[in-house]
Each structure stands twice: as structure tokens, then as C-alpha cells.
Amino acid sequence: MKTKGKPTWLSYMQTTKSEFRECEKYEPTDFKGFINANSIVHSCFSHSIPMIYLLDYRSCLYTNVSGCFAGYKPDCFLKEGLNHTLNIYQKEHLHLFNNQIFPDRLEILKGIPAEEHSNYIFSHNLCIRNINGGYDHFLQRNCFMSDKAGNPLVSMGVILNINHYHYDNSVVQTVNKIDKEGQIEEGAFYKKVYYLHEEDRMFSKREREVLLWMADGLSSKMIADKLFVSEHTIINHRRNMQDKTHMPNAIALVSFAIKSGVI
């Protein structure tokens, strides 16, 4: 599907909508039965009490919504469509999803055969303004139904409240694959950490200190002894820095820090 430049979430849906004006509505005959019977959906969503939805990119409308979300009844989404979602989506989170997370999803899907798109579960955390005017944190998990050319046309997902878990200014996207038995494979197929503010990517003073010791070849235990903290604390610092830089291991992290002038 052709779009001008790197497609954002909203531009992709507008393009899809214009190209599929006369499309047949995608809707299972029995939505609840479909959710319960489909092994893919069951494996992905069975461990939560979520709002489940079907969003058709060809019409920019929700064709099915099950349960309330952030205090809003299903009719708010079914009648107002995507406009309601855009209105309550926290602006910085929406900007990040629209301009970075969704374009990355399209790139990931390009490397997967179209007929297998529904076997990959995309997850990320987001922030939504609830019906009382406050903001709640949610985890969204969804898969895509795509055409033969690999263009995702329908998003089927679940959204679960995670207010009891703390999230800072980062958004984590993961992709998991479902195996032939309908079970989610262990380990993420893909993981990336995004930041709402660019300054959140920068290392803290303590992280730079840990990096310097790592560059000298010290182990996490040795660094912990020098800084009078636990080894677990040093490991967490290292993991946070790897998430910020998308480096796969400690060696790559130190190499990145040296080349970029961090240390």
C-alpha cells in the first residue's frame, strides 16, 4: 500500500480507508463465540478481564467492542469510532504510537508472510484519559488480519488496566509469536523501548559511573563492591542502559558508549 513517506498510524488508516471504500465489513457472526473458540485469541487474551475490540482500518470504525474501557461504555467507541479514541488518548502517548511504534509494526510485518500475520501478538503500554478526567495506564495486545499483499486491515485486540504497575516515561513494545498449538512461544520475538521525552534516553550520573567500570572490564559483582550496592542494582542499571540504547549485551553497550562519547 503506497503512502507518502514513512506511514504513521493515522496516515496509514486514512490511506486504507480511501482504497477500500466498498469493502465488506469484517465481523465474526458471533463475536463472543469467536473470542472463546478461536485458539489464537484464547491464548493471547485468556488471562485477563479486558475490553476486547475489533478496529477495521478500512472504515476507521470499531465493529465490535466488548466491555467498558476507562469508564466509557462500548457505544462511545461504536458510534464515534476512532475520533473518540483520539480524543481520550494522552497526547504524548498518541504522538509516540502514531509516529514511531506503529511505523515499526509495519516494518516488522513486512518480514512476515501475510498469512501468518495473525500469529503475532503486538503489545505496548499506553495512557488514556478516563471518564472522570484522570489518566489511567493500560496494556494493549493485538494481532492483525491482513490482505494477501500483507497490508494490515483489521486490528483485533484487548486492553487491560495496569494502574497497579508503575510506568515511567517509557513505552515498551513487544511482539510474541503463537506456535502451531496456539500457545505463545517463550521469549519475545521483538522488543523495543520508546521514550516520551528525548531527555529520558540520557544516562544518569550513576549509570555513567557503572559504564566506566564496565569499560575497565569489571564484572557486576566487582562494580557493586566498589559502589557499595547490591549486584542486583548494578544488573538493573546495565539492563536499563541496554533498553535505552537498544544494545543486545554489555559488550555492545560499552562499545556504543565509547563511540558516542558517553564515556
The residues facing 172 across adjacent strands are 193
- Residue 18: the pLDDT is 87
How many Å apart are CA 38 and CA 28, to the nearest integer?
A: 11
Q: Are residues 120 and 241 located together in one domain of the fold?
A: no
Plot region of 197 (φ>0 → left; ψ -120 to 50 → alpha; else → beta): beta
Q: Are residues 206 and 190 located together in one domain of the fold?
A: no
Q: What is the DSSP letter of 181?
A: T
Helix or strand (DSSP H, E) at 259: helix 250-259
Q: Are residues 222 and 165 located together in one domain of the fold?
A: no
Q: Are residues 27 and 48 located together in one domain of the fold?
A: yes
Q: Are residues 18 and 148 located together in one domain of the fold?
A: yes
pLDDT tens per residue across span 206-263: 998 999 999 999 999 999 999 999 999 999 999 999 988 889 999 999 998 888 777 7
pLDDT tens per residue across span 74-100: 999 999 999 999 999 999 999 999 999
Q: Are residues 143 and 255 located together in one domain of the fold?
A: no
pLDDT tens per residue across span 134-175: 999 999 999 999 999 999 999 999 999 999 876 677 899 999
Q: Are residues 23 and 92 located together in one domain of the fold?
A: yes
Q: Could you tell me the CATH number of the domain that includes residue 179?
A: 3.30.450.20
Q: What is the pTM of this model?
A: 0.74
| Residue 132 placed within a domain | yes
How many Å apart are CA 95 and CA 249, to the nearest integer?
A: 29
Domain tally for the chain?
Answer: 2
Please, what's the largest Cα pairwise distance for the chain? 67
Q: Are residues 153 and 217 located together in one domain of the fold?
A: no
Q: Are residues 218 and 138 located together in one domain of the fold?
A: no
202: nearest Cα among 128, 131, 259, 257: 257
In 112-237, beta strands by DSSP E: 120-129, 135-146, 152-161, 170-177, 190-195
